[in-house]
Amino acid sequence: MSKATMSTPPVWRTAARLADGREIVYFDETPGRRPLPDGRGLPRPAPECEIRRDPLTGDWIAVTAHRNTRTFLPPAEECPLCPSRDGRLSEIPDPDYDVVVFENRFPSFSAATPDVAPLVDGEPLFVRARGAGRCEVVCFSSDHQASAATLPGGRMSTVIEAWADRTAALSRRDDVAQVAVFENRGEEIGVTLHHPHGQVYGYPYVPARTVRMIERAREHRAATGGELFADVLAAERRAGTRIVRAGEHWTTFVPAAARWPVEAHVTPHRHVPDLASLNPAERAELAVLYRDLLRRCDALYGTPLPYIAVWHQAPVRDGRDDIRLHLQLCSVRRAADKIKYLAGSESGLAAWINDVAPERIAARLREAA
């Protein structure tokens, strides 16, 4: 990848408030934003979020009854993520935007949630707590028909700047233990809005997968003296059979033990704990490689691929030296006309069975360039 690609355009940040007090932040590629007021007259949100610990596994489970009423697959003309236009008021009061982030109206975690009793039914085994934290929506474009894969390179850079900004902001909160950035695309994996967007979650606890990765990283360091993510990346690069594309600062590869029919990781070449810690050159190259991966995925079957893309980041306090920032993109599509459903082995026992060889998917992603 040439040095000519290693620059990031400037981004202007403007914060405002929606009618119900939620924060909205605009990330613009040109200066001069003067946010319009939100004229909807919304009542203050009253989320009811709690977390309960599973006594059999130790995992935290969020319980959020208010989310059952959230918007579900509205027609394009009623999309709440499109700009407000022609008297139709949406979540974004302005008539246009580049990238915008706002607090989720139907959050899984919220600092506004009320206190709860520390035990369910008074039973010591059934521990629970407030579902504090924060959930935000990230809109990638005002164009309802766009997708992350079709964004121009400059817009993807703006999205990355927004991700980094929100990671830093949420990491400063006392009620947040880990920040995760993710995007869901496709009805096959459960999206409720088709507008190109993702989310940022500030979890009040460290999720189970991260806990397990920290444990494995520490076991690996104790046994070998090495850093687990660095050693995995080095092994994948030596083998080469699952590498999709390598740049100066990042490598895209299909992991040797991929769980999903389509799965790819994008990992930086140096240890960085989160998106906010990336330097300008890493951010610039990421905008190229991430968009490249999304376009390869869409070329696999000649139709937009349903996927979940998650940026795994280190917890905000513990494990900063153990978890390296990396993207995990996965899809349930196992063939052009077939979907992988999580059945007894996966859903019941978390024992994954992949019907597609990782080496085969890597080869097809390379060919899809």
Strands (E), the chain: 12-17, 23-28, 50-53, 60-63, 99-103, 128-130, 134-139, 178-185, 197-203, 243-246, 250-253, 262-268, 307-312, 326-331, 333-335, 338-339
207 φ/ψ angles, rounded to the nearest 5 degrees? -60, 160
Give residue 312's identity as a one-letter amino acid code.
H
Phi first, then psi, for residue 339 (nearest 5°) are -115, 140
In order along the chain (369 residues), what is the average pLDDT of each group of 10 residues?
59 98 98 96 93 97 86 87 93 98 96 96 98 98 96 95 98 98 93 94 98 98 98 98 98 98 98 98 97 97 95 97 98 93 91 95 95
Q: Which residues are marked as active site?
A: 197
pLDDT at residue number 3: 41
75 within 8 A of 88, measured Cβ to Cβ:
no
pLDDT of residue 6: 58
| pLDDT on residue 50 | 97
Distance in angstroms (rounded) separating the CA atoms of residues 13 and 11: 7
How long, in residues, is the chain?
369
- Write b or e for each residue in 60-71: b if 16 or more Cβ atoms lie within 10 A of its Cβ, otherwise e: bebebebbeeee
pLDDT at 1: 45
Token pair 């989320």: residue? 47
| Ordered structural domains, the chain, with CATH | 3-204 (3.30.428.10), 209-367 (3.30.428.10)
* Count of C-beta atoms within a 10 Å radius of residue 182: 17
Torsion angle in degrees (nearest 10) through CA of 285, 288, 294, 295: -150
Backbone φ, ψ for residue 365 (5° rounding)? -70, -35
Whether the Cβ atoms of residue 264 and residue 137 lie closer than 8 Å to each other: no
Residues near 26 by beta carbon (within 8 Å), at least 6 away in sequence? 12, 13, 14, 15, 16, 33, 35, 94, 97, 98, 99, 100
Give dist(CA 332, CA 162) in Å, integer. 28
Residue written as tokens 């920290």? Answer: 214
* Range 4-9, long-range pairs (CB < 8 A, 24+ positions): 5/284, 5/285, 5/288, 6/248, 6/280, 6/281, 6/284, 6/285, 7/280, 7/284, 8/157, 8/160, 8/161, 8/280, 8/283, 8/284, 8/287, 9/154, 9/157, 9/158
- Quote the tokens at residue 195: 């507008």
